[in-house]
Amino acid sequence: RVSSVLNRDVKQFGKKHMFDTSEETCWNSDQGTCQWVTLDFPRTVKVSQLHIQFQGGFSSRLCTLEGEELVSHASWCPPACFFPLRAPHRFQVEETVLDKLKITFENSTDFFGRIVVYHLGVLGERL
């Protein structure tokens, strides 16, 4: 699930585009102060790393991870918020066992609060 889709145009900007491995498609949120993505895994996983490819200028200065088993939230400032070019970024996270993961994008670099993600990958292992 995602917080929003630009102009509700799921065909062109829907969540599925974060996982289709195409460099031409993306999830584009609508305006708003806080955008998010929720991932429901079919079975329990141990997450250790996230790969996110933002569109320069439409990234987040602060991202927060939440999961059912997380005791505290992990936050970081993605390097993408400082670079205008799209580039995949890898973020190590404390290994956590969970069934659901919510990534909240706070403090967008876009004046209107939009977030654009070309690729989202969660690395770890199935349990």
pLDDT tens column, 37-60: 999 999 999 988 888 888 878 888
pLDDT of residue 82: 41
- Collapsing DSSP to helix, strand or coil, 18 comes out as helix
Given a contact cutoff of 8 angstroms between Cβ atoms, the answer to whether 124 and 48 are in contact is yes
- The CA distance from 50 to 45, in Å, is 13
Per CATH, the homologous superfamily of domain 6-126 is: Galactose-binding domain-like (2.60.120.260)
Q: Give Cα 6 to chain centroid, integer Å.
A: 15
CA–centroid distance for 88 within its chain: 12
pLDDT digits (tens, 9 = 90+) for 59-86: 887 888 888 655 444 455 544 444 434 6
As a whole number of angstroms, the distance between CA 34 and CA 61 comes to 11
3-class DSSP state for residue 2?
strand
pTM metric for this prediction: 0.84
Six-digit token string for 126: 């199935």
